[in-house]
Amino acid sequence: AQSVTQPDARVTVSEGASLQLRCKYSYSGTPYLFWYVQYPRQGLQLLLKYYSGDPVVQGVNGFEAEFSKSNSSFHLRKASVHWSDSAVYFCVLSDSGGSNAKLTFGKGTKLSVKS
Amino acid sequence: EAGVTQSPRYAVLQEGQAVSFWCDPISGHDTLYWYQQPRDQGPQLLVYFRDEAVIDNSQLPSDRFSAVRPKGTNSTLKIQSAKQGDTATYLCASSWTNNYAEQFFGPGTRLTVL
């Protein structure tokens, strides 16, 4: 069985501060990992994805994430947050990219950016 | 390129009423997914289709829930006799042959059952 844990349900940071949202996964095989963002009353939007190769992947709007196989983690980072980054962030695991790929979501981390 | 569209955006029902949700996936995407997202939780897969065939509906909560995709394009998710526990946002997503892991989501339908 696979699972994703986001240990922080809520995170509050000041505008301009750096950000790290934590994600741990459990999966015996090679994971496909994603971060999605959900703005209020909107659907999920893909921020970035990791399939293989360089463990640091770049996404949209200055976000990046680092994959660590030894720690089973895929933490999301941003150097300087903006008030518009306030949203819910989901770490997501897929067991493959093939035809039976299924996504397992974490419970999400709600980010609030104080101005 | 148009994204995944869903309607209605909101629905409010009394217990026992029926409701249908409609989804139009991205053109060319052969796989369509329905998710249920309870408040303050991550989405949970209900059912998914490849073209018109149901691949996995084992996570549909009960026989009150049904989903169809008759022509392999649009899809309808229906709840018969809704219960308060069905209150959630229902998300539709689609993906395609080149990469089934990357799914594109619609805005969702927020259902409230009173």
| pLDDT tens column, B17-51 | 999 999 999 999 999 999 999 998 999 999 999 99
DSSP β-ladder status, A10-14 and A109-114:
parallel
Res B100: pLDDT: 75
Please tell me which of the candidates B40, B45, B105 has its beta carbon nearest to residue A43.
B105
- Do residue B107 and residue A105 have CB atoms under 8 angstroms apart? no
Split into its structural domains, chain A has a count of 1
Supply the pLDDT for residue B62. 81
DSSP letter, residue B4: -
Q: How confident is the model at residue A77 (pLDDT cuts 50, 70, 90)?
A: very high
* Under 8 Å between Cβ of B47 and B31: no
CA distance A109 to A102: 21
Q: Shortest CB distance from B41 goes to which of A43, A102, A107?
A: A107
Instruction: Give the CA dihedral B48, B20, B79, B50, nearest 10 degrees.
Output: -10
Q: What is the pLDDT, as a whole number, of residue B96?
A: 86
Structure tokens at B75: 């899809």
Distance CA A27, CA A106 (A): 13
CATH number at A42 reads: 2.60.40.10
Question: Is B81 within 8 Å of chain A by CB?
Answer: no
Under 8 Å between Cβ of A10 and A27: no
* Domains of chain B by start residue, with CATH: 17-113 (2.60.40.10)
Residue (of B89, B69, B113) closest to B9 by Cα position: B89
The domain in which residue A103 lies consists of: 3-114
Minimum-distance CB partner of A49 among B43, B93, B102? B102
Condensed to tens digits (0 to 9), the pLDDT of residues B67-83 reads: 999 988 999 999 999 99
E strand intervals along B1-114: 5-7, 10-13, 19-24, 31-37, 44-50, 53-56, 65-68, 75-79, 88-96, 99-105, 109-113
- Per-residue pLDDT at B4: 95
Confidence of residue B98 (pLDDT cuts 50, 70, 90): confident
Whether the predicted pLDDT of B101 surpasses 90 = no
Measured in whole angstroms, the distance separating CA A97 from the mean position of its chain's CA atoms is 18
- pLDDT value of position B1: 63
Contact B101 A32 (CB under 8 A): yes
Yes or no: say if B78 and B67 are a contact pair by the CB < 8 Å rule: yes
Two tokens, residue B20: 């249908």
Residue A100 pLDDT: 77
**Residue A110 reports pLDDT greater than 90:** yes
Least confident of A23-32, A92-101, B35-44: A92-101
Closest-CA distance of chain B to residue A100, Å: 8
